[in-house]
Amino acid sequence: MSTYTPKNILITGAAGFIACHVANRLVRSYPDYKIVVLDKLDYCSNLKNLIPSRSSPNFKFVKGDIASADLVNYLLITESIDTIMHFAAQTHVDNSFGNSFEFTKNNIYGTHVLLEACKVTGQIRRFIHVSTDEVYGETDEDAVVGNHEASQLLPTNPYSATKAGAEMLVMAYGRSYGLPVITTRGNNVYGPNQFPEKLIPKFILLAMRGKPLPIHGDGCNVRSYLYCEDVAEAFEVVLHKGEVGHVYNIGTTKERRVIDVAQDICKLFNIDSDKVIQFVENRPFNDQRYFLDDQKLKNLGWSETTMWEEGLKKTIEWYKNNPDWWGDVSGALLPHPRMLMMPGDIERNLDGAEKYDSGSTEFSGKSNETKTAAPASKTTNVPQKSPFKFLIYGRTGWIGGVLGKLCEKQGIPYEYGRGRLEDRSKLLADINSVKPTHVFNAAGVTGRPNVDWCESHKPETIRTNVAGTLNLADVCRENGLLMVNFATGCIFEYDAAHPEGSGIGFKEEDTPNFAGSFYSKTKAMVEDLLKNYDNVCTLRVRMPISSDLSNPRNFITKISRYNKVVNIPNSMTILDELLPISIEMAKRNLRGIWNFTNPGVVSHNEILEMYKKYIDPAFTYANFTVEEQAKVIVAARSNNEMDASKLKKEFPELLSIKESLIKNVFEPNKKTSA
C-alpha cells in the first residue's frame, strides 16, 4: 500500500465543526506539514474552534470564500498548495428547505471554483472532497448490508442533492483533467465545538436550560453517530493512504433512533425523558435510515474507537464547560430552525487576526511572518453587486434618515417601507416588492416634542410601539428575515442593586424596573414579547447624540437649550459611532437584546462643560433637582447606567462615552478662534 506525504495542505471550512478537529490534529501531529485553512466565517463557524493551532508555526488562517476564484488561485500559488481537503459547505438539512439557493451556491459553485483553480494551477497532488452519507438516500429499514461506495446516489433533500451534484463535478474533473481526487461519504458526526442546530448539541443545550427536547415525527428515524476525533483520524488515514479516484465511506454499524438519542441524553442529565421529550411536526422529507458499509476504509487500517456513551459524556462535559461558545443560539434551538445565512455573516473572536481591504483575514503562528493579502480582483473597477438589501421603516425619523445615508455611503441598496407598521398587508407588500435581506425598524412613537405627549395619547402609542412592532417582527419571521429593532434603554432606573455612581450597569437579561412614563411602559412591554421571536435583534438606544448639533432631537442640542438641567450620570448612544455598527450587526445576523450604548456614563454637566470648551466659551447653564424637574414635566424620566460589555466584546474598537463624545461630536464641531 503506497503512502502519500503532503507538504502544504489547504483545508476549507476549517473553522467549522468536523474540519477544525482535522486541522488541529494535523497541525499537532505533523509539524513538517504547513496547514493553511480557509473559512468565510459563516454562522456555524467560530475561530475559537482553531485555538489549539493558533500558536503553531505551521498554521495559517485566511478569512475568505471558496467562491472567490481570485482568492483561491492566489492561495494555491503563493502558499504552494499541493493538497486540498475540502470541507466547506452548508450542511443543515432544515436550512436547505428554506434557503436552497444558498446550498447550491456554496456546495456546488464553491466546489466548482476550487476544482477549476486546481486545473489551472496544475500543482495539486491530492484533492479530498468531503461528502455525506445522505447522497445515497434512504436505506431500507430491514437492510443488513449498508450502502457501499458504488451504490447509486438517490438524494432526497436540497442539501444532499447539492452534495451529490458537487460529487459529480469532482468525478468529472478527475476523469476529464486527471485531477487526483478522492471522495469521502460520512455518517453523522458529534462532539465538542458543533454548532447547536444539529441534533445532539441542540438536545444537550436544551437539557442544560431545562427546555423540552423537540423530536421530528415519531422519533423512530435511525441514524449512525461517530465521535469527532474518530472521524478526524479517518481523514488522517484517507489523506495518507487513500487511493486517487476512489470513494471511502466513513461509518459505524452502531445505529440509534432519534428518540434513543434524546433518552440517552436525558439519562445522563438525570431528567425524566417522558416529561421533556416533545414530538413536533416532521420535516418535509425525513429519511428513515442511512446505513453504510465502511469495510473499504477499515482495509486502510482505520476503525472506530470511541464508544457511544463515552463520546456522549465527553460532549456533554464540553458544552457544560463552554455554554456560551456560540453566543446567542436561541434561533438554532427551535424545533425547525431557519438560520439566516449571508456570506460571511458572523465573524467571531478575531483576536490576533489581521484584516485586509481585499476582504481576507489571516492569523498565523509565525510571529515573524510577513502577512500578505490576496490581490484585488481584476474586475475591481466594476461595481460589485451587494449581497445585502435593506428595508428601513422610519423614513421621517432621525435614526431612519441617518441609516439611509449610511447605506448610500456603503453602497448597500435600500428602500424605505411605505406601509404603516399596524397594517400587515402593507408590510407584506413592502417585503414582496423590495425583496430585502434584512429589515430595520426605526419607526416608533417617542412623543411630540417629548415623551410627555405619550401620556395623553396612549392608544396611538400602543398602536405603533407595541402592536406595530410585533406585527413587523411576525411578518419578518414568516419571511425568514432578521429584523433589527431600535428600542430604548429608558426602561431602567438606578436602584439598590445598581446605585448611581457604582459602575454596576443593567445587563441585557435584567428585568425593566422603570414605569414612570407610558412611553417606557410600552417599550418594556414589547421588548419582553419580542423575546419570543428568534429573528429579532433589539438595540437599546439611550439619550441619542450625534455630531449634528443643529438637530433638535440631539440630546446635546436639547439640554443646551434648557433653562435648567438635572445633573445625573447616564449611559448614552453616540449615533455617529453606533449606527454603522448596527449595519455590521445586521450583516453578521446577530440577534437577541443588546445594550446599544457607549461604555460608561456621562453627566449632563460634563456634557455642557465640553460644550463650553469646544463650542461656546460664553455658554452658561443652571441646575435643578429631580424633584424640581418633576414639577415641570408630566412623566418621570429614566436615569441609569447600561452595561455595554456584550457590545464591547463583539466590537472591541467601541469607544467609551466620553472618548466618543470628544472624537465624534465635539472635535468635529470645535470652534476655532479668529
**Catalytic site positions:** 133-134, 159
Run of H or E residues at 355: strand 354-355
| DSSP letter, residue 370 | P
d(CA 85, CA 126): 8
Q: Which residues lie closer than 8 Å to 529 by C-beta, 6 or more apart? A: 466, 470
> Of 524, 452, 492, which Cα lies nearest the Cα of 601?
492
**Dihedral Cα 163, 168, 171, 175, nearest 10 deg:** -160
Which cell numbers hold the place of 268?
445522563
Instruction: Check: CB of residue 79 under 8 Å from CB of residue 359.
Output: no
Work out the angle at residue 525's Cα, subtended by the Cα atoms of residues 523 and 527, and round it to the nearest 5 degrees: 70
Q: Which DSSP string do the residues of 414-470 spell out, in sequence order?
A: EEE--S-TT-HHHHHHHHHHH--SEEEE------SSSTHHHHT-HHHHHIIIIIIHH
Each residue of 189-209: b (16+ CB within 10 Å) or e?
bbbbbbbbbbbbbbbbbbbee
* Cα 182 to Cα 127, 235, 237, 238, 563, distances in angstroms: 6, 11, 12, 8, 78
Residues 585 and 574: their CA atoms lie apart, in Å, by 16
- Contacts of residue 266, defined as CB under 8 A and 6 or more positions apart, other chains included, come to 207, 213, 272, 273, 276, 277
- Residue closest to 266 by CA, chosen among 219, 312, 324: 312
Instruction: Please report, as a single letter, which amino acid is at residue 130.
Output: V
DSSP state for residue 373 in the 8-state scheme: P
Bond into 6 cis (ω within 30): no
Q: Name the 3-class secondary structure at 574.
A: strand
Give the three cell numbers for residue 39. Answer: 473559512
**Distance from C-alpha of 166 to C-alpha of 344, rounded to nearest angstrom:** 21
DSSP 243-275: PTT-EEEE--S-EEEHHHHHHHHHHHTT--HHH
What residues does 131 pair with on adjacent strands?
185
